[in-house]
């Protein structure tokens, strides 16, 4: 989402630069309406940029990385498809969480490379919220830290449709290399499920 917005912003700025080059300030003086429209476009552009960069949506996109609500239903879905679940355990407000999502996780999800290989969801373990677990019980989010023995955040945990861990956790690391290790971990999870549809490396 933020990448698409920045592309549009670049186009808008280019048009404005072009406008400045082709219009002199004398023409602005002779046409006060044009000058007002020009100033208004700058204000709108600046406000849009500010709202994107400083809103929570700049650091999350639930369309590709949904917040978990019912792991039992998600488990049934993945069991039918014989796919692993990648649970991104995060901490709301933690800068390393937002950075990892923006720099490494969301770009690879947007690329479509993981489509048909994994179902991914996110659980914030430091909020006063609940999630239905794989047994159908309502579980406070902080309890997942103990259920999955989480010693570091953020972390990606790979499970089968019953919530059983099927490969090693993937800790946060260098953003440039994270997509490679994420694909590798998903392939290991697919192998554990005896699913031959691996992600090409």
SS3 109: helix
The structural architecture, per CATH, of the domain 61-192 is: 3-Layer(aba) Sandwich (3.40)
d(CA 1, CA 5) in angstroms, rounded, equals: 6
Percentage with pLDDT > 70 across the chain: 70
Mean model confidence pLDDT for the chain: 81
pLDDT score recorded for residue 19: 46
pLDDT digits (tens, 9 = 90+) for 153-172: 999 999 999 999 999 999 99
Alpha helices by DSSP H, 124-177: 144-147
d(CA 11, CA 20) in angstroms, rounded, equals: 14
Tokens describing residue 122: 């996110």
Residue 187 φ/ψ region, left for φ over 0, alpha for ψ in the -120 to 50 degree band, beta for the rest: alpha
**pLDDT over threshold 60, residue 92:** yes
pLDDT digits (tens, 9 = 90+) for 3-41: 444 444 444 444 444 444 444 445 545 555 555 555 555
Tokens describing residue 6: 């920045």
Name the residue ranges covered by the structural domains of the chain: 2-54, 61-192
Strand partners, 70: 132
Let me know how long the chain is: 201
Strand partners, 119: 85
Contact 169, 156 (CB under 8 A): yes
pLDDT score recorded for residue 40: 56
């Amino acid at each position: 989402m933020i990448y698409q917005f920045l592309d549009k912003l670049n186009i808008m700025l280019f048009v404005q630069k072009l406008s400045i080059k082709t219009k002199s300030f004398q023409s602005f003086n002779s046409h006060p309406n044009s000058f007002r429209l020009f100033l208004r476009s700058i204000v709108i552009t600046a406000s849009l940029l500010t709202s994107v960069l400083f809103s929570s949506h700049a650091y999350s996109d639930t369309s590709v990385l949904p917040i978990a609500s019912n792991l039992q239903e998600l488990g049934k879905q993945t069991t039918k498809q014989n796919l692993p679940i990648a649970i991104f355990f995060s901490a709301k407000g933690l800068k390393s969480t937002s950075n990892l999502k923006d720099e490494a996780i969301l770009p690879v999800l947007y690329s479509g490379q993981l489509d048909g290989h994994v179902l991914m969801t996110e659980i914030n373990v430091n909020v006063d919220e609940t999630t239905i677990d794989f047994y159908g019980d309502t579980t406070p989010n902080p309890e997942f830290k103990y259920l999955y023995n989480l010693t570091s955040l953020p972390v990606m945990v790979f499970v089968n449709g019953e919530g059983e861990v099927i490969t090693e956790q993937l800790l946060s690391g260098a953003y440039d290399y994270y997509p490679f290790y994420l694909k590798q971990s998903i392939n290991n999870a697919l192998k554990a499920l005896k699913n031959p549809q691996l992600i090409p490396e």
